[in-house]
Structure 1
Amino acid sequence: MIREEKFLISRKPFAIDLATVTLEATERDGAYWLKGNCRAVWYRRKDGVTRACIGTLGLWAQWRREKPDLSSPEAMLGNDLDSRYGGDPDGRWDGTGYWGSEIPEVQAQHLAILRPMLANYPAAPDGYDGWWTFQPAR
């Protein structure tokens, strides 16, 4: 992943809870396979409506010849990872409606993050490090 200073929704960036980053490396025949995940929030736009999303971001890589750096969350994210399918949302807020969990406590937790996130677009909420993207550097 690449850490970017400037937010551009077109680059599909994620703000990540660094305390939740996990990544394990398995070495086979001189190649490394990486697998992990983290909690993340992100913005997406559909039909002209901006949505704030919260969920899990899968992290993985295959056939890496160089030994991965697993020394810190930032180092783990700095490996050449893939997540071409994006995040797996657990909740989404578009300013008028919520989509996600049917458990009232979980809805309240999500909305406590998503409502102010959307109101302060494009800021990353407190506790999340933004912005990270899987897209190639420009």
Structure 2
Amino acid sequence: MIREDRFLISRKPYAIDLSTLRGSRIDTPQGRNEYYFDGRIDAVWFRRRKGLTVACIGELWDLQHPEPADARQFLEQHEDGRYGGDCAGRWDGDSYWGNVTLAEQERHLAILRPMLADYPSIPDGYDGWWTFQTA
């Protein structure tokens, strides 16, 4: 991924909470002390659905070797964006979509409501904009 200073929805950017990188080593099928780092990091993003701008929350994931030193390195090594982010919740200004607990839905909406109202601002605590598309 690359970090850009300006927001262009056509480039499918993500704002990332750099403090949330988590993961674990998983052995490769070949064994021989080889592994991948199965990493995940929290993200938010805007997309257009049926002509309407929506705010999404979820995570990005990737299998990497070697294990990244930090969240920035994880993002810089993350090259395969064909699946995009795993969306856990979405707000369109009228309704919420997501299969999460009520407490998690309220946490999501506390981020997504002001995010959509302040489009295209980055929510507090997030770093952006990160995209898989080359310049």
Give the TM-score taking structure 1 as reference length: 0.81
Gaps spanning 5+ residues in structure 1: where? none
* Coordinate RMSD, CA, aligned: 2.4
**CA spacing shift, 1:8–1:32, aligned 2, 3 Å:** farther
Q: Report whether the alignment pairs 1:4 with 2:4.
A: yes
User: What is the 5 A alignment of 1:98-109?
Assistant: 98-109=96-107
Deviation at 1:49, TM superposition (A): 0.3
Question: Pick from 27, 49, 52: which aligns with 1:46?
Answer: 49
SS of aligned partner of 2:77: coil
Query: Matched residues in 1 for 2:89 and 2:78: separation?
Result: 27
Check whether the contact 1:91–1:98 (CA below 8 A) recurs between aligned residues: yes
Query: Matched residues in 1 for 2:97 and 2:112: separation?
Result: 11
Give the TM-score taking structure 2 as reference length: 0.83
- Percent identity reads 53
Query: Matched residues in 1 for 2:111 and 2:58: separation?
Result: 12
User: What is the 5 A alignment of 1:1-138?
Assistant: 1-22=1-22, 35-60=38-63, 68=66, 70-136=68-134, 138=135
Query: Matched residues in 2 for 1:13 and 1:41: separation?
Result: 9
